[in-house]
């Protein structure tokens, strides 16, 4: 009986593979550059190399691997294993990655959206354990989302559900990368947080953070040091996220709202603002129910979740 899974997290910059055991623990890892410019076929070769590598590390036979779960960015057709488009990876248009990787490895491959994979990872092995209804928001260049309802990932008929980052919070507001206006992502991603900071600085707000190129981590560090502008910007990011957490509470009556991504290192400074805004906007019963938590697994969530989603696609809850 096969008793291992392989999880892959394919990003525009790095690709990572993991061998996952029946307790949803990662027991071997492989990481390398994606080299997106080489195109999809070359990347599939690199993924297959990663698969071989993690098997070799633990002397596991491929017959003992049940399935590969592959998390990838961009709009995709998970049912058919096709990446429809990957914004930062040239050549990924209607690319049948699951079939290609299966041909290379001899293993079944299931494809999942990267935010969904991260959400599922937290659900089975991280901050979402023990609940049945949760949402995840991933905070980075954009704001990704995953919605789990009654223990099931919400995919929708086009496999596009969960775009929490593209719910409009400010009618007619800031232009978003998606072309829309006023999306959560345009206010509360790490990128948007940096943009709001640099705009305010340019407008003459005083701050001790004066270097030209600023990261979101710089802003959080400066805020922790007591800088008023940085504190204001972080509080605003938290307020937008809390508003959306409240929207999710009122809409879905979720038990947990989990935030992931580098920004969560902001800790109480960020989470206090999120919780305050959520409490102001959510209805009493769902607001009381909702726990707002940082993710626990870091970038492992995508690996564990990709493997776990593949398992579910096979009709299994555990190995």
The two three-digit tokens of residue 285, written as one number: 């019963």
Among 24, 105, 133, 138, binds a copy of itself (CB under 8 A): 133
Query: Do the Cβ atoms of 7 and 124 come closer than 8 Å?
Result: no
For residue 169, the Cα-to-chain-centroid distance in whole angstroms is: 20
Among 32, 141, 250, 296, binds a copy of itself (CB under 8 A): 250
Among 157, 204, 226, 315, binds a copy of itself (CB under 8 A): 157
Rounded to the nearest whole angstrom, what is the least distance from the CB of residue 188 to a copy of itself in the complex? Answer: 11
Q: Residues 214, 217, 222, 227: is their CA dihedral positive or negative?
A: positive
In the bound state with a copy of itself, the residue whose beta carbon lies nearer, of 34 and 254, is: 254
Give the C-alpha separation, 81 to 17, whole Å: 18
- Around Cβ 268, how many Cβ atoms within 10 Å? 9
Query: Do the Cβ atoms of 219 and 194 come closer than 8 Å?
Result: yes
In the bound state with a copy of itself, the residue whose beta carbon lies nearer, of 58 and 129, is: 129
Q: Which residue has the tokens 């990787």?
A: 101
- Around Cβ 176, how many Cβ atoms within 10 Å? 21
Per CB under 8 A, which region of 32-40, 208-216, 279-287, 294-302 contacts a copy of itself?
279-287
Indicate whether 161 belongs to the interface with a copy of itself (CB under 8 A): yes
DSSP letter for each residue of 68-136: EEEEE-SSEETTTTEEEE-TTSTT-EEE-HHHHHHHHHSS-EEEEEHHHHHHHHHHHHSTTTT-S-EEE
Indicate whether 235 belongs to the interface with a copy of itself (CB under 8 A): no
Give the C-alpha separation, 121 to 308, whole Å: 7
Interactions with a copy of itself, residue window 25-54 (CB under 8 A) = none
Per CB under 8 A, which region of 202-210, 249-257, 265-273, 308-316 contacts a copy of itself?
249-257
Rounded to the nearest whole angstrom, what is the least distance from the CB of residue 57 to a copy of itself in the complex? Answer: 39
Query: Do the Cβ atoms of 27 and 19 come closer than 8 Å?
Result: yes
Indicate whether 169 belongs to the interface with a copy of itself (CB under 8 A): yes
- Around Cβ 23, how many Cβ atoms within 10 Å? 9
Among 105, 193, 254, 260, binds a copy of itself (CB under 8 A): 254
In the bound state with a copy of itself, the residue whose beta carbon lies nearer, of 172 and 204, is: 172
Site string for a copy of itself, 62-81 (x = CB under 8 A): -------------x------
- Where on the chain is the footprint of a copy of itself (CB under 8 A)? 75, 132-133, 145, 147, 149-150, 152, 154-164, 166-171, 173, 178, 180, 240, 243, 246-247, 250-255, 280-281, 283, 285-286, 289
């Amino acid at each position: 009986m096969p008793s291992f899974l392989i999880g892959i997290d394919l990003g525009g910059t790095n690709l990572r593979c993991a061998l996952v055991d029946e307790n949803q623990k990662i027991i071997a890892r492989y990481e390398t550059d994606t080299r997106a410019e080489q195109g999809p076929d070359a990347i599939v070769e690199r993924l297959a190399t990663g698969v071989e590598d993690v098997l070799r590390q633990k002397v596991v036979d491929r017959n003992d691997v049940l399935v590969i779960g592959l998390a990838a960015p961009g709009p995709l057709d998970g049912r058919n294993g096709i990446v429809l488009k990957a914004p930062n990876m040239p050549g990924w248009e209607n690319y049948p990655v699951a079939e290609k990787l299966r041909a290379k490895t001899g293993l079944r491959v299931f494809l999942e959206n990267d935010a969904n994979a991260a959400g599922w990872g937290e659900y089975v092995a991280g901050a979402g354990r023990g609940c049945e209804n949760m949402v995840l928001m991933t905070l980075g260049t954009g704001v990704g989302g995953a919605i789990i309802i009654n223990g099931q990932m919400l995919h929708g008929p086009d496999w596009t559900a969960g775009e929490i980052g593209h719910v409009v919070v400010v009618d007619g507001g800031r232009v978003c990368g998606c072309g829309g206006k006023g999306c959560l992502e345009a206010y509360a991603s790490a990128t948007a947080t940096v943009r709001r900071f640099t705009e305010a600085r340019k407008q003459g707000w005083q701050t001790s953070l004066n270097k030209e190129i600023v990261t979101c981590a710089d802003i959080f560090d400066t805020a922790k040091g007591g800088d008023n502008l940085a504190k204001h910007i972080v509080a605003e990011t938290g307020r937008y996220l809390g508003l959306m957490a409240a929207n999710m509470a009122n809409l879905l009556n979720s038990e947990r709202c989990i935030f992931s991504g580098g920004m969560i290192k902001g800790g109480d400074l960020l989470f206090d603002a999120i919780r305050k805004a959520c409490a102001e906007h959510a209805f009493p019963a769902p607001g009381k129910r909702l726990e707002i938590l940082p993710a626990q697994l870091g970038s492992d969530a995508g690996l564990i979740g990709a493997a776990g989603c593949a398992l579910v696609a096979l009709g299994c809850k555990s190995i």
